[in-house]
Amino acid sequence: MSHKVLFIDPIGGLSGDMFLGAFLDMGLPPEFLRTGLEKVGLRRFFELRVTTVTRHQIAARKIEFPGREEALTDPAPRTLAAVKDFLAAAKLPPAIQNFSLQVFTHLARAEARVHGVSIEKVHFHEVGDYDTLADIVGTALALEWLQPEYLSLKAIPLGSGEVDCAHGRLPVPVPAVMALLEDLPVYAGGIEAELVTPTGAAIIKTLVEMLAPVAGMVCKLGRSGYGAGRRDHSQKPNLLRLASGMVAAPAAPAAALKNDSFSLETLITLEAAIDDMTPEKIACLKERLRADGALEVADRPLFMKKGRLGNNLLVLLKPEAEEKIIERIFTESTTLGIRRSVGERYFLEREISVQPTSFGEIRCKIAYDKSGRPLNLKLEHDDLVRLAEKHSLPITRLEQLILAELVIPANDQTHWFLRSVAE
């Protein structure tokens, strides 16, 4: 089965409009973008202007959003709560709304950290206009069009110098960008200019959290596209290059680590930090996630900011259950973000077998290796409870008696089989 890869090469920087331009150059239909922005009501605040420009003799798409009068009389939302209300009122599809809100959440967290205030008190300045909303929602629409699952990211050029902003003259990269780019690959770009905007940094941070890394996989490269920034630097083109690709499957583990006795499968792990839900609601969510197809659901205590006790929710699942489980977590928990990782696990084949005993029939879960050798047997707990009540026996003692009836050990102490099968 093939999976879509998004390649990101920030040749000369990152910004929201550069992302949109590159997606359009890749093949994103302009009408798809216009229609999507119209649905959320953004088009009444600005025009959408797409032109082709050249940067160092490379053709690229450039996006501009000339404002309309409505943008002056009806200002854009300036707080995270206001942005959340705006997006909710727009009735966006869940994937587009969640991505857009996560980008703004990253922006608010970075600003809160820089200014030493709570996230609720952050007031968006440079990133609080309708063109920023259009950049972010437009990028979400582009991702919905492309449907990538994996990400390949080249190092990000930082730029240098100083820039004027709402907080005065600040060094480049500005503090919020520095906070957003933590743990991401960067390098000194050698250009005295702001190469990465807060919007661009927040988009890339959200993409890194949302998509699995493609390192170690052989990919088939697809179409590429270039998005132009507002400047034209002499040292290198002010461009963002995006490309699509296809990968057949996650890379297999190294041969030295393989164990041919056991089956191997690729699974997805989702994690979410939750600090404002009651234990009863989390327990209900866990049961519904299991009903949705999750293989394992667990949570562990977590100390959050200001000493609040929260929970770290962990869900193990197969790829085909991912969309349903992500929607469940976002709609039935209070988390604003889900961490995703792709990995592999060895597992035992298993079956449920009903076995006769002197105490009555009981269900057993039997696990086998790839050769069919039984390695584990577990008696069904509900059946044990029923039979223990029927015979007035302690459940642990009953378990021991039933296992003694069912299991015949082999001479080598590493093998066993069921008495019913042996007879």
- Summarised one tens digit per residue, pLDDT across range 191-232 is 888 999 999 999 999 999 889 888 667 788 999 999 999 888
Q: Indicate the helix (H) or strand (E) that contains 325.
A: helix 322-332
- Spatial contact of 109 and 337, defined as CB atoms under 8 Å apart: no
**Cα distance between residue 129 and residue 211, in whole Å:** 27
| DSSP-based three-state secondary structure for 191 | coil
DSSP-H helix ranges across 14-69: 16-26, 30-39
CA–CA separation, 40 and 86 (whole Å) = 9
How far is residue 123's CA from residue 107's CA, in Å, rounded to a whole number?
10
Residues of the chain with CATH 3.10.20: 349-422
Q: How confident is the model at residue 253 (pLDDT cuts 50, 70, 90)?
A: very low
Direct distance between the N- and C-terminal alpha carbons of the chain, in angstroms, rounded to an integer: 44
HSE-CB of 300 using CA atoms within 13 angstroms: 3
Residue 71 predicted with pLDDT over 80: no
Residue 261 is predicted with a pLDDT of 66
**What's the mean per-residue pLDDT of the chain?**
85
CB of 326 closer than 8 Å to CB of 338 = yes
Specify the pLDDT at position 160.
86
pTM: 0.59
Distances in whole angstroms, Cα of residue 254 to Cα of each of 216, 248, 262: 11, 17, 15
**How many other CB atoms are found less than 10 A from the CB of residue 235?**
13
Dist CA 292 CA 287 (whole Å): 9
* Per-residue pLDDT at 84: 87
Rounded Cα gap, residues 33 and 169, in angstroms = 35
Tell me the three state secondary structure of residue 368: strand
Tell me, which fold does domain 263-347 have in CATH? Alpha-Beta Plaits (3.30.70)
Q: What was the pLDDT predicted at 422?
A: 45
Residue type at 264? L
Q: What is the pLDDT of residue 234?
A: 82
Q: Quick one: pLDDT at residue 164?
A: 76
pLDDT of amino acid 237: 93
CA of 34: how far to CAs of 54, 60, 83, 241, 272, in Å? Answer: 24, 19, 20, 22, 33
Cβ atoms of residues 383 and 363 within 8 Å: yes
Q: If one looks up domain 349-422 in CATH, what number appears?
A: 3.10.20
Across the range 283-298, mean pLDDT stands at 95
pLDDT at 239 over 90: yes
Phi and psi torsions of 40, nearest 5°: -95, 5
Share of the chain above pLDDT 70, in %: 87
Coil, helix or strand at residue 76: coil
- Determine how β-strand 212-213 pairs with β-strand 219-228: unpaired
| Pairwise pLDDT comparison (123 vs 331), residue with the higher score | 331
CB 99 within 8 A of CB 143: yes
Angle at 237 between CA 233 and CA 242, to 5 degrees: 145
pLDDT the model gives residue 50: 92
Q: How many CA atoms lie within 13 A of 273 on its CB side?
A: 8
**Predicted confidence band at 257 (pLDDT cuts at 50, 70, 90)?**
very low
Residue 255: pLDDT over 60: no
* DSSP conformation letters of 369-384: -TTS-EEEEEE-HHHH
Q: Where in the chain is the domain with CATH 3.30.70.1380?
A: 263-347
419 pLDDT exceeds 80? no
User: Which pLDDT score is estimated for 411?
Assistant: 55
Q: Summarize pLDDT for 317-361 with one digit per residue, the tens.
A: 998 899 999 999 999 999 989 999 888 888 888 888 899 999 999
- Quickly state the pLDDT bin for 388 (edges 50, 70, 90): very high
Over residues 398-422, mean pLDDT: 71
